[in-house]
């Protein structure tokens, strides 16, 4: 009996170590596979903006399951982006998971946002935290979690994203050119936002600390 208990205790001790080793190996593989990501998203994953061309998002601080789904959607065409399609197509499902684990392991950093007016920031904060329920616009935090720092695999951390990226995505949801969200929730919400509100949301999120 004592021997059985000792073996059980040893197994309980070794399993986490094995899991940690697998995670470390996945992160290291992801680091190697992610080298092609650095040119657009920067080595630390903070994202970048090429004016009048493209805004590349911050890709740290995201749930790995959400991260993998976006890569799979780029690969399948469910989410359309001329830059990302060939990059995602290069990756196997295992490599996608490794890259997601690698970026999830990094500190969450972002560039300093361009200052916005006080009125614009107040409007953005109100929409994020309270919404406009009389216009059927729910608060962002109702899906994206406390302070919109992400909730599970379907609702990403929105903070610290380049304002240009958030604005582009809200317009894409609005126009229906992006439609890979859970239950099609974003299109009707984005359609009810006016141009000023979209800019206010983008400015507010860009100014927030990105770490969870």
Residues in a beta bridge with 56: 48
3-state secondary structure of 137: strand
Known binding residue 87? Answer is no
Known binding residue 84? Answer is yes
Known binding residue 121? Answer is no
Asked if residue 197 lies in contact with residue 123, where contact means CB atoms within 8 angstroms, the answer is yes
Phi-psi region of 156 (alpha: psi -120 to 50; beta: other; left: phi over 0): beta
Q: How far apart are CA 179 and CA 78, in angstroms?
A: 8
Q: How far apart are CA 168 and CA 57, in angstroms?
A: 11
Known binding residue 35? Answer is no
Hunting for tokens 């290291």 — which residue is that?
A: 28
Q: Both tokens of residue 83?
A: 């830059």
In order of 111, 136, 172, 187, the CA distances from 169 in angstroms are 19, 20, 5, 11
Known binding residue 110? Answer is no
Known binding residue 90? Answer is no
Q: How far apart are CA 157 and CA 179, in angstroms?
A: 18
Phi-psi region of 54 (alpha: psi -120 to 50; beta: other; left: phi over 0): beta
Binding site, annotated residues for heme c = 37, 40-41, 84, 140, 143-144, 186
Binding site, annotated residues = 37, 40-41, 84, 140, 143-144, 186
């Amino acid at each position: 009996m004592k021997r059985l208990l000792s073996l059980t205790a040893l197994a309980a001790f070794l399993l986490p170590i094995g899991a940690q080793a697998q995670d470390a190996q996945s992160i290291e593989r992801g680091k190697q596979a992610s080298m092609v990501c650095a040119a657009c998203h920067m080595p630390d994953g903070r994202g970048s903006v090429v004016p009048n061309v493209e805004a590349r998002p911050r890709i740290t601080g995201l749930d790995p399951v959400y991260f993998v789904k976006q890569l799979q959607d780029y690969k399948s065409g469910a989410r359309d982006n001329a830059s990302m399609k060939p990059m995602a197509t290069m990756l196997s499902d295992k490599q996608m998971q490794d890259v997601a684990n690698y970026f999830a392991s990094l500190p969450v950093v972002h560039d300093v946002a361009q200052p916005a007016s006080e009125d614009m920031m107040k409007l953005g904060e109100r929409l994020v935290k309270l919404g406009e329920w009389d216009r059927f616009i729910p608060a962002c935090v109702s899906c994206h979690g406390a302070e919109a720092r992400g909730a599970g695999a379907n609702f990403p951390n929105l903070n610290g994203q380049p304002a240009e990226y958030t604005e582009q995505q809200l317009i894409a949801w609005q126009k229906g050119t992006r439609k890979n969200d859970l239950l099609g929730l974003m299109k009707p919400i984005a359609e009810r936002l006016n141009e000023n509100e979209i800019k206010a949301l983008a400015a507010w999120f860009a100014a927030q600390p990105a770490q969870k």
